[in-house]
Amino acid sequence: MRAADLVVEGASQVVTVAAGRAGPARGRAAMNDLGVVEHGAVAIRGGKVVGVGPTDDVRRAFRAKRRLDADGRCVLPGFVDAHTHPVFARWRDDEFARRCRGESYEAILAAGGGILASAKALEGTPEGALVSHLEAVFDQVLLHGTTTLEAKSGYGLTHEAEVKSLSALREAARSAPLTVVPTFLGAHALPAAYANRRAAYVRLVTDVMIPDVAKRRLAVFCDVFCEVGAFTIRESAAILRAAKRHGLLGKIHADEFGDSGGARLAARMKAVSAEHLGGTGPAGIRALARAGVVPVLLPTTSIFLKLPKKADARAMVDAGCAVALASDFNPGSSPTANLSLVAALGCSILGLTPEEAITAITRNAAAAVGLSDRAGSIAVGRPADLVVVDAVSYVAVPYRLGTNLVRDVVRHGDVVVRDGRRHAG
């Protein structure tokens, strides 16, 4: 018998999300293959998975120091949130209420609201306060089953405030039991001070901020908001080229409101992922599939902003894309970090199957953040990140529309959520 630190056993199902397969799941057949082990168990040693199989077999093969009885519940990989904006100083519930009463987003923006309001609030907030805010956010994220989180700056919009945002992220991530993938998003909006000097701001991003962020190793990715009203195709291309020169991987917010060519730019620039894509048409979808760019779809944002166009997820899957879903957690357009809700809307709004939605918040989301070999599946040799949900079948995750069924969370072999509460491990 081999020794294990922890055995999670007695699961109705262990959803491995096709463990052992390399890379993301592209297209319909792969995205519908979850690799389910019925009556399964997972053995963990040194923070890594050392065995997956039927509970009887795992019990016979491993002597466990500790056991976690899933008691007939379903076990899945820790969820991966591939797109969030958690570094903000205050919520924008006031704007939400105004929008509900009929004011338009544009009118609120013109009156100093939106991203620029977040930037103003962040400017006067000390780094320590941002760290405390992020620690609270990370607790919420973990309680919803997310063990890997992509996190963007982008409410700074000055060199100093962007560095402060990313430093706070690094500091908060140091002690939190989850994997944070930091993304520099200095090109989130044109700051008010540069309203008539677009080119000067783009140069500040490409020539000052990107080199400094890369030198301090504050980010893995660089993102840009490529959209009418934000940054043009040319500006976005310049920003992503500068990022590449300094060793940052590319992401693009593209085609949120219409087909502005953002998806094709993502393909041309060999970005790792392209996000939103509500307006992306057939040519853009073909380009994404050919270039192997991961489409990251954000259905909570579509609903929250009542966006007229939704991403054509079915066409993307059928074109052979490795579609991912993410929360877009942020104070303006998606104030939730609940990936089960995102998966539910992936099915009910975007037309994915339950299996595709689960793949989209695990294996394919891991590919979107460059961690295909480390997150998003339960496989021997990989970090042991998994969740136990209070249901017999994984279908409950997208079916129970926003109910948080996450009961236990194991991260790198430590139990960090137990019976729905944060646990010291």
Binding site for Zn ion (CB under 5 A): 328
CB of 185 to Zn ion, least distance (A): 8
Given the complex with Zn ion, which of 275 and 408 has the nearer CB atom?
275
Q: How far is the CB of 63 from Zn ion (least distance, A)?
A: 46
Nearer to Zn ion, 55 or 146 (CB): 146
Residue in the shown chain whose Cβ atom is closest to Zn ion:
328
Cβ distance to Zn ion smaller for residue 256 or 355: 256
Q: In the 3-class helix/strand/coil scheme, how is the chain assigned residue by residue?
A: CEEEEEEEECCCEEECCCCCCCCCCCHHHHHCCCCEEECEEEEEECCEEEEEEEHHHHHHHEEEEEEEECCCCEEEECEEECCECCCCCCCCHHHHHHHHCCCCHHHHHHCCCCHHHHHHHHHCCCHHHHHHHHHHHHHHHHHCCEEEEEEECCCCCCHHHHHHHHHHHHHHHHHCCCEEEEEEEEECCCCHHHCCCHHHHHHHHHHHHHHHHHHCCCCCEEEEEECCCCECHHHHHHHHHHHHHCCCEEEEEECCCCCCCHHHHHHHCCCCEEEECCCCCHHHHHHHHHHCCEEEECHHHHHHCCCCCCCCHHHHHHCCCCCEECCCEECCCECCCCHHHHHHHHHHCCCCCHHHHHHHCCHHHHHHCCCCCCCCCCCCCCECCEEEECCCCCCHHHHCCCCCCEEEEEECCEEEEECCEECCC
Tell me whether residue 328 or residue 355 sits nearer to Zn ion (CB atom): 328
Least distance in Å: CB of 62 to Zn ion? 42
For Zn ion, give the closer residue by CB, 12 or 364.
Answer: 364
Residue 307 Cβ, how far from Zn ion at the closest point, in Å? 13
Minimum distance from residue 253 beta carbon to Zn ion (Å):
5
Tell me how far, at minimum, the Cβ of 196 lies from Zn ion, in Å.
26
Which residue, 227 or 408, has its beta carbon nearer to Zn ion? 227
